[in-house]
A and B are shown apart, each in its own frame.
Chain A
Amino acid sequence: MEVLLYSLRKVIAGIPLVLGVTLISFLLIVYFGPDKTYELVGKNPTAEQIAEVRSQLGYDQPFVTRYVRYLQEIVTLDFGNSESTDEKVSSILARTIPVSLLLAMPGFILGNGLGVALALVAAYFRGGFIDKLIMGSAAVGMSVSFLIAIIAFQILLSSSDGLNLFPVRGWDTSTPLAYIQHVTVPTLATVFVALGYNTRFYRAVIVEEMTRDHVRTARAFGVPPARIFYRNILKNSMVPIVTRVVFSIPLIIISGSLLLESYFGIPGIGKVTYDAIVTGDQPVLKAVVALTAILFVVAQLLTDICYRLVDPRVSLR
């Protein structure tokens, strides 16, 4: 009950954010966006034809009316049909989001899991050779562009000049083997570029927790390192770690997969977004922007509830 009320309050508090995001997307994509009139009218249009199309598109309406209509579409989750394929936008989303999740999840889990693991090792040996080695490698990894990593892994693993183990591009999840074959190279590239940032971030968090007073207290009372590590360090690091993980979810679903999907020709939400950008497919773009904004509000809610689970000082009032 307490959690429910809290969630409700948080959702209400998220409304200005959603309004802001939709306003900005409305301004950029619809209001100042490209004029669609001439795509829709036939050859040699008369002035009436133009006026008619413009009123169909709502271009003759005042700003507020058009924005409210845009909001209505979002609230009813009715974005209409894609301008390029005429498929219903909601069915496009339903079809492509699972693909993106399957594509992004392995890299996301490995990138964060390995990041935490390496950060722990580095923090444990802090100042020593192993720490320097790990953090030096992280600095190198952070300096490699995602695109370069993708191409390099593709050359190394999928081309006839390299090991030629995996398909060059495309997507197939019909069997587990096919899935593994297609997801490996994108995953490796993702992990390679994310690991440096993650390790660095998690190491900073863990070192900060390691130097807290209560860790010294525990040591002064003879608590062994493994237990201190679990009870004093890991548990207290959970808040920043959870925040980072949860907040990167909306981004990996949309922006993170955009490059991977358009590079490898994978039919996920990122590819759809990219195509919509290129062709100026407004209904799809509107849907994607609204969706991200909502995901962000949800992410905020989730992290707040996680805080409460981890840290008793946070109250849900």
Chain B
Amino acid sequence: MTAAALPVERHGDSLWRRALRKFRRDRVGMLALLVVGSYAVIAAGVMLGWWATGWAEISGPKWAPVSAEHWLGTNIIGQDIFSRAIYSTRTAFEVGLVVAIGATLVGAVLGALAGFYSATWVDEIVIWLMGVLDSVPFILLVAAIAYSLQDSPWSMHIAMIVTFWIGTARLVRGEVIKLKGLEFVESAHAIGLNRLSIIFRHILPNTFHILLVQATISFVAAIKSEVILSFLGLGVKDGMSWGLMISESTFEVLAGYFNNFIAASVLMFGLVMAFNMFSDALQDALDPRTVKSP
């Protein structure tokens, strides 16, 4: 028995095709995707060592103005702001992707288990865990995790995953409760598939539209949180990020040097804004209520 033979899969298929059609017509969404794509190319270039390799070098005098050599000037110790801002794109994608994928996976698995075993102890525990984690202030959680991991560079990522999976899990849980009453799940039971295979091979794939949108939301939240955590000294430990640049710049702006602040802020704003728009367009395109067609 293959998944393709089940009726809801076919329905899912046409949902995706319709969503794709609708997304293509959404000009704002397409533009946002283009912008996000450009950032991704920049980040990939950094990763492959094509550009911004000299971000850590002291390559000029302190606070050099904008010039052909230093496109956006230099910072307080003479590092090139442009290459630092470009390099930080890679950090943003790294944080965003790790957190988005991690939080979505955890949210999907726990949400699906809670939904499938709704009103049993499994569900109770997941709900309790969500309530508990919601009640711990985010920054405290990061700090506490940083402690217990002995200042590991991943403590920020882990703390974000630990917090961000909750939203995804709530939605997946609700959807799975809806799906498990449907015919195709009952027929899967009837032909004796085991439970885990029903949950993860047949039910979870039908929540993929939720997961995709939630992943984009987590991505944005991660990039925004990174800035604040790095400023507080709880974020990026080695390397460079927009958050670190902005923290550096808090001294510079009081002395009247804005290049560092503006470079990091504008680049970050562009990515977050584009990603938000992309996320909205995606949500619109995938919303079965707006794809209403008889």
Contacts and interface: CB of A to CB of B under 8 A. Distances in A.
Is chain B in direct contact with chain A in the complex (CB below 8 A)?
yes
A147 B226 CA distance: 11
A258 B273 CA distance: 25
Contact of A151 (B129, B147, B250): B250
B269 A255 contact: no
A158 to B, nearest CB: 9
Contacts of A148: 227, 246, 261, 265, 268-269
B253 A139 contact: no
B273 A139 contact: yes
Nearest to B146: A277
A258 B231 contact: no
A16 B228 contact: no
A57 interface: no
Contacts of B254: 159, 168
Interface in A118-165: 139-140, 142-148, 151-152, 154-155, 159-161
B140 A285 contact: yes
B250 A255 contact: no
Interface in B230-273: 231-234, 243, 246, 249-250, 253-254, 256, 258, 261, 265, 268-269, 272-273
A255 B131 contact: no
Given A29-B144, A280-B147, A159 B253 contact: yes
B258 to A, nearest CB: 7
B186 interface: no
Contacts of A278: 233
B232 A140 contact: no
Interface stretch (A17-25, A60-68, A233-241): A17-25
B128 A16 contact: yes
Contacts of B6: none
Nearest to B275: A143
A67 to B, nearest CB: 15
Nearest to B220: A143
B274 to A, nearest CB: 9
Contacts of A33: 144, 147-148
A262 B253 CA distance: 17
A229 to B, nearest CB: 24
A196 to B, nearest CB: 10
A151 B250 CA distance: 7
A296 B135 contact: yes
Contacts of A277: 139-140, 143, 232, 234
B134 interface: yes
A17 B124 CA distance: 12
B294 interface: no
B117 interface: no
B137 A254 contact: yes
A286 to B, nearest CB: 11
Nearest to A280: B147
Nearest to B246: A147
Contacts of A160: 256
Contacts of A289: 136-137, 140
A116 interface: no
A32 B147 contact: yes
Interface in B123-168: 128-129, 131-141, 143-145, 147-148
A263 B272 CA distance: 23
Contacts of A159: 253-254
Given A20-B131, A25-B140, A160-B256, 12 more contacts: A17-B132, A139-B273, A139-B280, A143-B269, A145-B227, A145-B265, A145-B268, A147-B227, A148-B265, A148-B268, A161-B253, A277-B234
6 contacts: A20-B129, A21-B136, A145-B265, A147-B227, A259-B231, A277-B232
Nearest 8 interchain pairs by C-beta: A20-B132, A28-B144, A32-B148, A143-B273, A277-B143, A296-B135, A143-B272, A255-B137
Interface of B: 128-129, 131-141, 143-145, 147-148, 224, 227-228, 231-234, 243, 246, 249-250, 253-254, 256, 258, 261, 265, 268-269, 272-273, 276-277, 280
Interface of A: 16-17, 20-21, 24-25, 27-29, 32-34, 139-140, 142-148, 151-152, 154-155, 159-161, 168, 250-251, 254-255, 258-259, 262-263, 273-274, 277-278, 280, 285, 288-289, 292-293, 296
